[in-house]
Amino acid sequence: QVQLAESGGGSVQAGGSLRLSCAASGRTFSSYAMGWFRQAPGKEREFAAAITWNERTTYYADSVKGRFTISRDNAKNTVYLQMSNLKPEDTAIYYCVARRDLYSLSYTWEHYDSWGQGTQVTVSS
């Protein structure tokens, strides 16, 4: 497993942008597929985005497609979530996740091996 630490959350007005970062411990970061989930107040946790180790494959939830971009820097052991054109419904705690698999991505929380503590994103109208 890797240890994950998210940063970059905060408050922004609708239409604004934020970039989340997730730093991973360990020397095997490039062996992991990475992803982001989110949980809004009173709602179930949901998948947001995922990326393979070599960035060749990405998955996005329909609700964020075209507005969010996931990327990674294996030299820095970091995965990013660039969020643009933010909407109030994007308000949630955002969690970074890791899966010890080079090529297989998943939309399911339980299919990941490591999870971060989360970072709050608040979008006001």
pLDDT at 1: 83
A 10 A CB-CB count for 8 gives 16
pLDDT at 17: 98
Residue 85 CA to residue 69 CA, distance in Å, equals 12
Strand partners, 92: 121
Percent of the chain with pLDDT over 70: 100
Q: Residue range 32-38: average pLDDT?
A: 97
pLDDT at 26: 79
Q: Which tens digits make up the pLDDT trace of 78-117?
A: 999 999 999 999 999 999 999 999 889 999 999 999 999 9
Task: Using alpha carbons, list the distances in angstroms from residue 55 to 34, 94, 118.
Answer: 10, 20, 23
pLDDT bin (cut points 50, 70, 90) of residue 62 is very high
| DSSP count for the chain of H helices, then E strands | 0, 11
Following DSSP, what letter does each residue of 1-32 receive, concatenated? ---EEEE--EEEETT--EEEEEEE-SS-GGG-
Q: Residue range 115-121: average pLDDT?
A: 98
Q: Residue range 53-76: average pLDDT?
A: 97
